[in-house]
Homo-oligomer: A and B are copies of this chain.
Amino acid sequence: MTAVHPADPADDPTDPDPADPATAAGTGASTGTGAGDLAADASEAGPLAGLLVIDLTRVLAGPFATMIMADLGARVIKVEHPATGDDSRRYGPFAADGRSMYFARVNRGKQSLAVDLKKNPEQVAALAERADVLVENFRPGVMDRLGLGPAQLRARNPRLVYASVSGYGATGPRSGEPAYDAVIQARSGLMSVTGEPDGPPVKAGASVSDLSAGVYTFGAVMAALVGRGIHGRGTHVDISMFDATVSFLEGNALAWLADRTVPHRIGSHHPNIAPFGAFAAADGQIVVCVGNDALFAAFAAALGAPELAGRPEFAENGARSANRVVLTAVIEELLAADTCAGWLARLEAAKVPCAPVNDIGQAMTDPQTEARRMRITAGGLELPGQVVKMDGYPDPLRRPGAPGLDEHGDVIRAEFGL
């Protein structure tokens, strides 16, 4: 194994990467002139200040990925059809002034340029020649037919990171099939393991397929840029909602891979640990996670039934898990005597991990949500904040809003000579 060399003390940590042409010019965010000034100004916008991203994605998965890039300081030019723009401009919910919250959330901080791709694909090609990243989520083959496929654009700009995100991916027998979050949740097996054991399979109440693909796309593009810094070339990134959702199956997939066990729904309980899940109190449900025997003793005491910890059928986790149905009935009989709030106070005092089953309003007004800046405004609308938080870079409570259709068109056309 080769020896590791220490960081070269001659490296000037304030000098931006001289090999990266995007930083040499400051593609939008900087107002400085020298490299040192550039570094100081650019970092005010975020870690990705200086990067140029051409965003042809629509609706959710793709725009979510490029939203994170915009939030982190990249210049994101959103290319939209001149007549209609992104379909999600017409998706609810709507703000009081009629603006689409859906569109506003994933497209905040981006610039909009209207291009009719069938008539003027060369405009996108011109942008791609100067860009660090291009992201698209058309059906596989569409971009190739426009002359804007990954091979075509990478031939003109070998440092381009070209990312495609789609329902099933750019390869394989289902490539090109229409994909919606519900379709992917069904085909991936996720629905089959969500819901009550005696109830029907049900979709997770969040667009897990769209959003996992969005975050994977963000990460993959970033990794490709790191790879560009190491190996000197761009790449074609290919992310699939189906792959992303399959990767989230985790324990359920492993059970099948281990011995072909087909997992079934178990409601909110854990297959191997008990008590670990949701339990009914007088006025609703609480979640309790007792991961070991010491916590079970504390839990039993807090329930006012310390003797439970002494019963052989509940004495250690394996037995508790095997006797989960009986154990759950015993626990719920005790919990029926008080409200969720009453029990949560006792359990928190006993340091037993637990939580209320919050509704959305309770979650959004939890003090932690506000302390973490997960409620912000962008363009005057209340929207969720940014998960990616880094020391030394901004995490603002007020962000720029989403653009009007072709709002930045004149400036961009002049700048790029389109």
Do residues B390 and A238 form an inter-chain contact, with CB atoms below 8 A?
A: yes
Interface residues of A in 354-371 (CB under 8 A from B): 354-364, 366-369, 371
In the bound complex, how far is the Cα of B185 from the Cα of A361, in angstroms?
A: 14
Residues 198-232 of A at the B interface (beta carbon under 8 Å): 199-208, 210-212, 215-216, 218-220, 222-232
Closest 3 CB pairs of A and B: A47-B227, A219-B219, A222-B222
A159 in complex: contacting residue of B11, B383, B388, CB < 8 Å: B11
In the bound complex, CA of A251 to CA of B88 (Å): 12
User: With A and B bound together, what is the CA distance between A184 and B206 in angstroms?
Assistant: 14
Decide if B130 touches A240 in the complex (CB within 8 Å).
no
Select one of B240, B356, B390 contacting A387, CB under 8 A: B240
Cα–Cα, bound, A229→B5 (Å): 19
Judging by beta carbons under 8 Å apart, are B130 and A6 in contact?
yes
Q: Which A residues between 325 and 372 are near B, CB-CB below 8 angstroms?
A: 351, 353-364, 366-369, 371-372
16 contacting pairs across A/B (C-beta < 8 A) = A3-B415, A5-B25, A13-B233, A43-B227, A50-B230, A72-B223, A173-B371, A186-B358, A189-B359, A189-B360, A196-B200, A196-B202, A208-B208, A211-B212, A220-B389, A257-B364
Q: Which of B19, B226, B263, B354 contacts A226 (CB 8 A)?
A: B226
Contact A28 B47 (CB under 8 A): no
| B residues less than 8 Å from A129 (CB atoms) | 6-7
Q: Report whether A223 and B182 are in contact in the complex, using a CB–CB cutoff of 8 Å.
A: no
A88, chain B: closest CB distance, angstroms: 11
Give A80 to B268 CA distance when docked, in angstroms. 31
How many chain A residues touch B (Cβ–Cβ < 8 Å)? 189
A307 within 8 A of B: no
Q: Beyond A21-B8, A174-B368, A227-B47, is A360–B262 a contact (Cβ under 8 Å)?
A: yes
Contact between A208 and B206 (Cβ–Cβ < 8 Å)?
A: yes
* Chain B residues near A187 (CB-CB < 8 A): 355-356, 358, 363, 366
Q: With A183-B353, A236-B391, A415-B1 known to touch, is A384 a contact of B171 (CB < 8 Å)?
A: no
CB-defined contacts of A112 to chain B, threshold 8 Å: none
Near B by CB (< 8 A), chain A positions 228-279 give 228-233, 235-240, 242-244, 246-263, 265, 267-268, 270, 272, 276-278
Residues in B with CB closer than 8 Å to A381 are 257
- Cα A208 to Cα B393 in complex, Å, equals 27
Residues of B within 8 A of A363 (CB): 187-189, 192, 246, 249
How far, in angstroms, from A411 to B3 measured CA to CA in the complex? 11
- A388: contacting residue among B39, B220, B272, B375, CB under 8 A: B220
Q: Which of B47, B208, B227 contacts A390 (CB 8 A)?
A: B227
- Whether A180 contacts B289 by the Cβ 8 Å rule is yes
Interface-located stretch among A94-102, A114-122, A138-146: A94-102
Interface assignment of A297: CB less than 8 Å from any CB of chain B: no
Counting chain B CB atoms within 10 Å of each CB, the highest count among A174, A191, A285 belongs to A191
User: In the complex, are the beta carbons of B390 and A237 less than 8 A apart?
Assistant: yes
Contact assessment for B101 and A257 in the assembled complex, using a CB-CB cutoff below 8 Å: yes
What's the nearest-Cβ distance from chain B to residue A118, in Å?
Answer: 21
Known pairs A232-B39, A237-B390; A202 contacts B278 (CB<8 A): yes
Contact between A270 and B360 (Cβ–Cβ < 8 Å)? no
A107 at the interface (CB under 8 A from B): no
CB distance from A230 to the nearest CB of B (A): 5
Q: Are B216 and A387 in contact (CB under 8 A)?
A: yes
Tell me the nearest residue of chain B to A102, going by C-beta. Answer: B254
Whether A206 contacts B235 by the Cβ 8 Å rule is no
| A193 in the interface (beta carbon within 8 A) | yes
